[in-house]
Structure 1
């Protein structure tokens, strides 16, 4: 069961990576990178459950906070850059 979930996550990784490369706007690329970060969080959680190491959930939560802060920082930089011009 965990292997099927991992394969599905890697398929969504590939689709999000394609979107990040071919996104028509910068915001599409940022959104796809946020999706990749979210899928990474899910992969860490699934790996933790598959190996019976539940401390991986704490790592996934820390990564979720870092992903959120990073996405907000990039978007504030991009939007702030457009407001200055």
Structure 2
């Protein structure tokens, strides 16, 4: 797929911003004072990774990346709910 120069620059800028956000989230993951902060950081990293997958799909013109991003979003949601339930109750399966 041929992209216009403006769209190519915009995608490159967006990819750089989300990559920087992932690096900053990684720093926050190691410096977070509580477990709740770490769970929120992992959830934010999941959202940033989904955005990177979608942007890379736009750049390459692949429709498969949307399905990959959807599966990653579902997995991230379930894992966040499981972490929070474990944090509140001490067990996941009752």
Q: CA deviation at 1:78?
A: 1.4
**Residue 30 of structure 1: how far off its partner (Å):** 0.5
TM-score calculated relative to the size of structure 1: 0.90
Q: Deviations over 1:6-43 (max 9, x none)?
A: 11001111111111111111000010010001101000
Q: Greater share of helix residues, 1 or 2?
A: 1
1:51 equivalenced with 2:64 (yes/no) = no
Alignment gaps of 5+ in structure 1: none
Partner of 2:47: 38
Name the residue aligned to 1:75: 84
Of 12, 24, 27, the residue aligned with 1:18 is 27
Aligned residues between the structures: 82
RMSD: 1.3
Structure 1 runs (4+) deviating above 6 angstroms are none
Report the more deviating stretch, 35-44 or 72-81: 72-81
Flag the structure with larger Rg.
2
